């Protein structure tokens, strides 16, 4: 097992192309997934825990990533919002079947900036923006007709004007503590490469048994 501290210096290793830190490799794999996946290459599973410690998982869309973390958007009054408010830690999983690869990420979760949230909300279609107002996400719904009536009510309220971002709708940023890359290998001899943050500019790099 190969363990080392990764800094800005180049690695003398051929593992995964001698990658120095996880973000450049993530960007490469994500770019390749966008070219090969038939649907939603940005889809990722988001795992949280509730007040009883029961795990909860659902698919969300990654709408931004950089060295600061991975960003997704939601209603903070939803189940995931309440769980993250109580326990601001989570795990992400990207799985790209076309490439036979996956990436696991764990870390702490905080709020994306209001400017980030406003910019992304403004990029959504008008109907999607109205839908964010109409849906009381995760709460009981009497019927589909009730949801459609709420949508119609907000569409009338905003008329032809701007649809602002609801105060309860915002971005979340997961700052990774660990990132693990997995790719399929013959005879179940898969490749696994894990990174653990050990400082602002350093990562511990570990190759794992499959």
Give me the pLDDT at residue 15, please.
52
Q: Active-site residue 188, yes or no?
A: yes
pLDDT band at 191 (very low <50, low <70, confident <90, very high): very high
Q: Kindly list the domain boundaries of the chain, sorted by start residue.
A: 3-122+168-208
User: Among the options 177, 188, 197, 205, which is catalytic?
Assistant: 188
Pairing of strands 169-183, 69-75: antiparallel
pLDDT at position 11 over 70: no
* Each residue's pLDDT tens digit, 60-69: 999 999 989 9
pLDDT at position 4 over 70: no
pLDDT at position 17 over 80: no
* Each residue's pLDDT tens digit, 75-99: 999 999 999 999 999 999 999 999 9
| Buried b or exposed e, range 17-38, using 16+ CB within 10 angstroms | eebbbbbebbeebbeebeeebe
Tokens, residue 175? 């700052």
| Separation between Cα atoms, residue 90 and residue 107, nearest integer Å | 6
Q: What residues contact residue 205 under an 8 Å CB cut-off, 6+ apart?
A: 2, 3, 4, 5, 6, 11, 193, 194, 195
CATH architecture for segment(s) 3-122+168-208: Roll (2.30)
* Each residue's pLDDT tens digit, 131-177: 999 999 999 999 999 999 999 999 999 998 999 999 999 999 999 99
């Amino acid at each position: 097992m190969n363990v080392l501290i990764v800094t800005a210096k180049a690695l003398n290793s051929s593992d995964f192309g001698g990658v120095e830190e996880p973000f450049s490799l993530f960007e490469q794999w994500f770019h390749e997934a966008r070219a090969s996946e038939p649907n939603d290459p940005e889809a990722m599973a988001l795992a949280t825990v509730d007040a009883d410690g029961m795990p909860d998982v659902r698919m969300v869309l990654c709408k931004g990533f950089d060295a600061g973390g991975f960003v997704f958007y939601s209603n903070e009054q939803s189940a995931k919002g309440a769980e993250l408010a109580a326990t601001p830690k989570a795990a992400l999983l990207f799985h790209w079947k076309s490439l036979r690869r996956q990436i696991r990420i764990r870390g702490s979760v905080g709020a994306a900036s209001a400017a980030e949230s406003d910019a992304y909300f403004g990029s959504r279609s008008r109907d999607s923006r109205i839908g964010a107002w109409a849906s009381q996400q995760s709460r009981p719904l009497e019927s589909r007709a009730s949801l459609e009536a709420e949508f119609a009510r907000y569409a009338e309220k905003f008329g032809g004007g701007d649809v602002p971002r609801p105060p309860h709708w915002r971005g979340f940023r997961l700052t990774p503590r660990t990132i693990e890359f997995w790719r399929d290998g013959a005879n179940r001899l898969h490749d696994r490469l894990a990174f653990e943050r050990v400082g602002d500019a350093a990562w511990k790099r570990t190759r794992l048994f499959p």
